[in-house]
Amino acid sequence: MRSDIMKKGLEKAPHRSLFKAMGYTNEEISRPLIGIVNSYNQIIPGHIHLSKIVEAVKAGIYMAGGTPVEFGCIGICDGIAMGHQGMKYSLASRELIADSVEAMAMAHPFDGLVFVPNCDKITPGMLMGASRVNIPSIFISGGPMLSGSFRHKAVDFITVYEAVGKVKTKKMSMDDLAELEDCACPGPGSCAGLFTANSMNCLCEALGIALPGNGTVPAVYAERIRLAKNAGGKILELVKNDIRPKDILTPGAFHNALVLDMAFGGSTNTSLHLPAIANEVGVKFDLSMLNLISVKVPHIASISPSGIHHLEDLYEAGGVYAIMKELTRRKLIKMQELTVTGKTWKDNLKDIKVLDREVIRPLDNPYHKTGGLAALFGNIAPSGSVVKESAVAHEMLFHTGPARVFESEEEAVSAILGNKIKKGEVLVIRYEGPRGGPGMREMLAPTSAICGVGLDKDVALITDGRFSGGTRGAAIGHVSPEAMEGGVIAVIRSGDLIEIDIPARKLNVKLSDEEIKKRFSKWKPRAPKIKTGYLARYAEKVTSGAKGALLNY
Q: Please report, as a single letter, which amino acid is at residue 63.
A: M
Helix (H, G, I), strand (E, B) or coil at 40: coil
Hey, how many other C-beta atoms are within 10 angstroms of the C-beta on 153? Answer: 10
Torsion from C-alpha of 309, 312, 318, 324, nearest 10 degrees: 60
Alpha-carbon distance of 470 to 303, in angstroms, equals 10
Stated as kind and residue range, the H or E segment containing 132 is helix 122-133
**Catalytically annotated residue among 468, 480, 494, 521:** 468
38-65 burial code (b ≥16 CB/10 A, e <16): bbbbeebbbbbbbebbbbbbbbbbbebe
Single-letter code of the amino acid located at 415: A
Q: CB-based burial of residue 237 (10 Å sphere; 0-12 exposed, 13-18 middle, 19+ buried)?
A: middle
Please confirm, yes or no, whether 271 is among the known catalytic residues. Answer: no
Torsion, Cα 525 528 529 531, to 10 degrees, reads -170
Work out whether strand 475-480 and strand 384-388 pair parallel, antiparallel, or are unpaired. antiparallel
Cα–Cα distance measured from residue 126 to residue 114, given in angstroms and rounded to the nearest whole number: 10
Name residue 302's amino acid: S
Cα–Cα distance for residue pair 41/322, rounded to 1 Å: 32
* 3-state secondary structure labels for all residues of 411-461: HHHHHHHCCCCCCCCEEEECCCCCCCCCCCCECHHHHHHHHHCCCCCCCEE
Cis peptide before 481 (omega within 30 of 0): yes
The Cα 550–Cα 553 span in angstroms is 9
d(CA 516, CA 154): 48
**Helix (H, G, I), strand (E, B), or coil: what is residue 368?**
strand
Amino acid identity, position 205: E
CA distance 318 to 331: 19
The span from the CA of 209 to the CA of 290, in Å, is: 21
* Beta carbons of 516 and 243 less than 8 angstroms apart: no
User: If you write DSSP's letter for every residue of 249-314 in order, what string do you get?
Assistant: S-HHHHHHHHHHHHHHT--TTHHHHHHHHHHHTT----THHHHHHHTTS-B---BTTTSSB-HHHH
Angle at 93 between CA 90 and CA 98, to 5 degrees: 145
Active site residues: 468
